[in-house]
Structure 1
C-alpha cells in the first residue's frame, strides 16, 4: 500500500508521516496507480483539502481519456449530522452536474462509492485557470480577452439561472474557477457551493462547505440577514472577477466597501487601458446591494454587446451611500450584522483551514478542495503532429522585450527537491589551488553564453573565452544551450510575447518557439540537432518531467520521457540529468529516450551535470559541503571529487569544446561574479571575464519556472 503526497504527488509508503521528496505532511491520500471503480487509474493529485481530494486519472476503458476524480472523505471525528450533510452536499453536486449539458460547464460521467469514500468523475479540462494566468503574466490581462471570457461565463450562467424547476446559483465565481481550455473557451468549474434556488421559498436551504472567497462574494451571501442569494449574487462575483483580471489587484471585500464606499478604486485608475464602457459594466455588476446590479446574466450580456455611443456615467455605488433597502431593515444594520457573523465564521474558518501548506493561494482544477496551481496546457503528441512551417518569431540581439514584469515575487520558491536557490552570496574566504594561465590559448577560444539577472528579469550575454569582450545577446532570456556544432542556440524566453523555449540559428534573426509554457526550461540539443530535450513542471501535480520536442517545431506540446530535471546531452549523444521522483536522487545518465539509466551520484545536493565531449567524465555543482562547489566524476560515478573547492559560491560548470578546460561562474573576486576556467584536474584556475551581474534571481512569472541560479546554465561553443 502507498499514499501520494498532496503537494508533489510522490508515492510514499502507507506508513509515512511526511513526503520523502518534499517533506509535506501526508494526508492519507490514494496511492499512485490506484484503480478506482475498476476503471480509473489514479496518476497524480490535482488538489487536496480538509474534506477530500481531486485526482488526475486515466480512463482504462476509453484509452487516452483523462478524468478529474473528486473524492469526498468523511471526517471520522465529525458528528453524525456533519457527516450526513457532507454526503448530501456531495450527492447534490453530483446530481446537479450530471443533468447539465452546456459547453461552458464540465460534464459529469460517473459517480460511485468505494471503500466508504464517494467519488465523482468529470471531464478534466486541459488548460489553465485564470488565477494561474494572472500569476504567470504578473500583469493585468487584455480587456478584449477578459470581456470575451466574461461573455462566455454569462452564457453559462444564463443556462444555470434558467434551469427548471429550480434555478442553479454557482456562488463561487472567481479567477481560480474559470478554466481556459486549449481552444480559448472558458469552463466554469467547482460546484462545491452550488445552491438550488426555490423562488417560492426565500429561505432556501443552502448546502455549503464555506462562504465563498471574500473578494468575490456579495453581501447577501453571508448570513445575518433576511436576504438570500440569487442570480444577482453570481453577477457580483463575475464583476469582481473582471476587476481582478483587468487590474491585477483583487477588489476589497464587500464589507469594507459597505463601511467605506471609496475603498473600491475605479478600475481605470489602476489600469488606464480599461475603457469607460467596461469600467461601467464592472462597477454596476459590483453594486453592494442586489438592486444596484444587473438583474440577470442576459442583461449583463446585452450591456457587453452594446456599442459605446455616448458617455457613460459610472454607477454611484463606487462613492455614494448604498440605496435604501426595500425591507424595513436598515442597510447599515444589515451590513454590521453580516460583518459580525463573518468575523465569527472567520475564526472558525481559520481553525479549520490552518493546516494548509504553502503561502501562495492554491488554485482550482475542477474541484472544491483548494488544489495546488493548475496545469497549463498539456497534451502529449508525436513530433510529427506539430507544425514545421516557416518560423514567425523574429528576436533580435538587442531587441527590448515587449513587456517585462516589474515586481519581484512575494516569496522565494521553496518547493523541494530543487536545489536551494542562492541569495546574496557573501565574499569571504580565500580561493585554493589557483594557478595562473597555462590552459592552452587554443582552448580558451570561442564564445560562452551566460545569464545575468537584471533586477526583475534575466538577460543573456555572450562572452569571448579569450577575454576580449562581452555583448548582450538578448534581453528577457536565460538558460542558454549551444547546439553541438555551435551553429544554433536554445534558451528560455521570459518575454511576455514569447514565454517558453526558443531555438535560433545564430546567423539569422528568426526563431522558433518550440515549447510555449513558462514552466518549460533548461533546453538541450540532441547530438544531431533535430530534437530539444528539456524539463518542465507544467503539469498540475508540478512533478518535474523530462520532455522532448522537435528543434524547429512551433508550439508543440512535446512528448513526456519520464521524471527528472536539468538535462544536458553530450557530443556522444548520451544525456546527463538530475534525478527526480521515480528516477531517484543525484546525477544520472541515460539515452535521450530515458532508457539505460545509470547512476553517477546519489546525493540530492547535486545538480547541473555536463558530460565531457568524450563522454567519459561529468562535471556538476553540489552543495554537499554547505556552499556550492564544482565537482567532477567519471561517467560511471567513480572518483567523484570537488575541483573549485573554496569558501565562495562556484557552479554552472560547462566543458570547452575540446574537453581540455571547464568554465564555471563564481563570486570569488571580491563578491563580483565572473566566468572562470580551469583544467579538468582543477588546476590553472583563471578568470576569463567579469559578468554584468549575478546569475541568481527570481522572475515574477511562476514559482514553478524561476528558482534561482541553480536552475540556470552557461554554454561554450567554438
Structure 2
C-alpha cells in the first residue's frame, strides 16, 4: 500500500522483528517501504529497530538507503534522501567514544523528544512543490524538516495589509504570546506546539507532525455519523484534553474553537485537539477565510458569545464545554445543532433562548 497502515498492522501483530525478515527476492519490509511508502514509514521503522535500518541488505547487497537513492524509489524520494542524510549524520554525532557503552536502539527511539530549539529548517518537497498536508484554521499546513533532524508540521498564516497595520501587529503579538504559553504544555490529547516565526509573507507556526484525519473529514469520507461507542471514546479523550487545559495552575487556558474540524484522530486512534482559536484576531484583521468548512464556527458558539463585541466577548471554560456539547451532537448527526438554519440566524436563535436539540437516544 502507498500508506503505512499495513506496515503498522504487521508490527502490532508480529512485533518489530518481522521488519527484517526477507522475502524470496531478499527484500525486507524496510526495503519495500523505502521503495513504495512515504518518508513517515522510514521514521516509524527507525523508531522500532534503530540504526539496523541502514545495515539491512538484500540478496544483491542492496540496503534500504540504496533503494531510496535509486530509480526504484517511487514515493517521496527527495524527502527520503534528506531524512536518510540527517538521520545518519545524527547517528554519527551521537556515537559514543570507544570503550563506552551505547544505548540500545529501542531505548534511543523511546527517548526521542521533539526539540523546539531548532534554528534552521526546510520545507519537504513533493516533486518540486512544498508537500501540502492540510488546509484549515485559515492557513495551509506543510511538512518540514529541522536542523535537529525532526520532521514537523508548519502552518502558514498569510498576512495581508488591509490598512490596519496597528491592529495586525497587535494580533500577531497575541498569537505569538499564545504559542509561547501553549508550547509549555504536554498532553496526549493536545497537539504539541513548538514555536512560531514571523516572516515577510506570513506567520509560521510549527507543531508536532501526526498522521490522521479530522473527525469532520472522516464523517464526510464515510458518508455517515460515528457509532455511539466511537463517540463515547472520542468524547472521553476530548474531555481529558479540555480538563487539562482548563485546570492549569496559572489559570484556565481556553481552546475557543472546539468542533469536529479541529479534532484530529491519529492513525493510532488518539484524539488531538488542534487549531486553537488564537488566530481569530489575525483572521479578523486580514480578512482571511478558508471557505472549506460549510458549517463555520457560529453553530458551536454559546449564547453569550453573540452578545459581546471585540475584546468584550466573554470566552470562558464554559463556552469550550458548550462547543464540546455541540460537537457531540455533530458526531451523531453529521451536522451541528441548528445546522439546517442559515449561519446568520444562529446568533438570533441562541441569544433568543431557543432550546437546543436533543441528542438522539
Which residue of 207, 211, 224 maps to 2:308? 224
Per the alignment, residue 543 of structure 1 pairs with none
Which residue of 98, 101, 121 maps to 1:39? 121
1:75-109 Cα shifts (integer Å, max 9, x gaps):
13432212212321320232122111111111122
Q: Secondary structure at the match of 2:277?
A: coil
- Structure 1 unmatched ranges of 5 or more: 1-31, 195-205, 269-273, 275-718
Deviation at 1:138, TM superposition (A): 1.2
Q: Is the 8 A contact 1:218 1:233 kept in 2?
A: yes
- 1:219 and 1:209, CA in 2 relative to 1: closer, same or farther beyond 3 A? farther
1:105-147 Cα shifts (integer Å, max 9, x gaps):
1112233344564322111221111001110121121111111
Per the alignment, residue 90 of structure 1 pairs with 175
Q: Is the 8 A contact 2:139 2:157 kept in 1?
A: yes
- 1:192 and 1:235, CA in 2 relative to 1: closer, same or farther beyond 3 A? closer
Q: Is the 8 A contact 1:41 1:60 kept in 2?
A: no
Task: Give, in whole Å, the separation in 2 of the partners of 1:126 and 1:220.
Answer: 36
Per the alignment, residue 108 of structure 1 pairs with 193
Per the alignment, residue 237 of structure 1 pairs with 323
1:662-713 Cα shifts (integer Å, max 9, x gaps):
xxxxxxxxxxxxxxxxxxxxxxxxxxxxxxxxxxxxxxxxxxxxxxxxxxxx
Q: Is the 8 A contact 2:182 2:193 kept in 1?
A: yes
Q: Is the 8 A contact 2:144 2:154 kept in 1?
A: yes
Per the alignment, residue 266 of structure 1 pairs with 358
Count of residues paired in the alignment: 223
Higher strand share: 1
Per the alignment, residue 234 of structure 2 pairs with 149
Deviation at 1:181, TM superposition (A): 0.8
C-alpha RMSD of the superposition: 3.2
Deviation at 1:179, TM superposition (A): 0.3
Per the alignment, residue 291 of structure 1 pairs with none
Q: Secondary structure at the match of 1:241?
A: helix
Per the alignment, residue 348 of structure 2 pairs with 255
TM-score (structure 2 length as normaliser): 0.54
- 1:177 and 1:161, CA in 2 relative to 1: closer, same or farther beyond 3 A? same
1:296-337 Cα shifts (integer Å, max 9, x gaps):
xxxxxxxxxxxxxxxxxxxxxxxxxxxxxxxxxxxxxxxxxx
Task: Give, in whole Å, the separation in 1 of the partners of 2:163 and 2:194.
Answer: 30
Task: Give, in whole Å, the separation in 2 of the partners of 1:227 and 1:89.
Answer: 16
- 1:80 and 1:66, CA in 2 relative to 1: closer, same or farther beyond 3 A? same
Per the alignment, residue 209 of structure 2 pairs with 124
> Counterparts in 2 of 1:284-299, with a 5 A limit?
none
Deviation at 1:218, TM superposition (A): 1.0
Q: Secondary structure at the match of 2:168?
A: helix
> Counterparts in 2 of 1:157-236, with a 5 A limit?
157-193=242-278, 207=281, 209=283, 213-224=297-308, 228-236=314-322
Higher helix share: 2
- 1:224 and 1:76, CA in 2 relative to 1: closer, same or farther beyond 3 A? closer
TM-score (structure 1 length as normaliser): 0.28
Per the alignment, residue 164 of structure 2 pairs with 79
Task: Give, in whole Å, the separation in 2 of the partners of 1:142 and 1:171.
Answer: 26
1:379-412 Cα shifts (integer Å, max 9, x gaps):
xxxxxxxxxxxxxxxxxxxxxxxxxxxxxxxxxx
Deviation at 1:233, TM superposition (A): 0.4
- 1:37 and 1:115, CA in 2 relative to 1: closer, same or farther beyond 3 A? farther
Q: Is the 8 A contact 1:111 1:118 kept in 2?
A: yes
Task: Give, in whole Å, the separation in 2 of the partners of 1:255 and 1:240.
Answer: 17
- 1:50 and 1:251, CA in 2 relative to 1: closer, same or farther beyond 3 A? closer
Q: Secondary structure at the match of 2:204?
A: strand
Deviation at 1:189, TM superposition (A): 0.4
- 1:168 and 1:207, CA in 2 relative to 1: closer, same or farther beyond 3 A? farther
Per the alignment, residue 342 of structure 2 pairs with none
- 1:91 and 1:146, CA in 2 relative to 1: closer, same or farther beyond 3 A? same
Q: Is the 8 A contact 2:262 2:274 kept in 1?
A: yes
Deviation at 1:60, TM superposition (A): 5.7
Task: Give, in whole Å, the separation in 2 of the partners of 1:49 and 1:141.
Answer: 22
- 1:78 and 1:55, CA in 2 relative to 1: closer, same or farther beyond 3 A? farther
Q: Is the 8 A contact 1:72 1:90 kept in 2?
A: no
> Counterparts in 2 of 1:449-488, with a 5 A limit?
none
Q: Is the 8 A contact 1:93 1:192 kept in 2?
A: no
Task: Give, in whole Å, the separation in 1 of the partners of 2:316 and 2:199.
Answer: 35
Per the alignment, residue 24 of structure 1 pairs with none
Q: Is the 8 A contact 1:140 1:248 kept in 2?
A: yes
Task: Give, in whole Å, the separation in 1 of the partners of 2:211 and 2:134.
Answer: 15
- Structure 2 unmatched ranges of 5 or more: 1-77, 83-117, 125-129, 290-295, 339-345
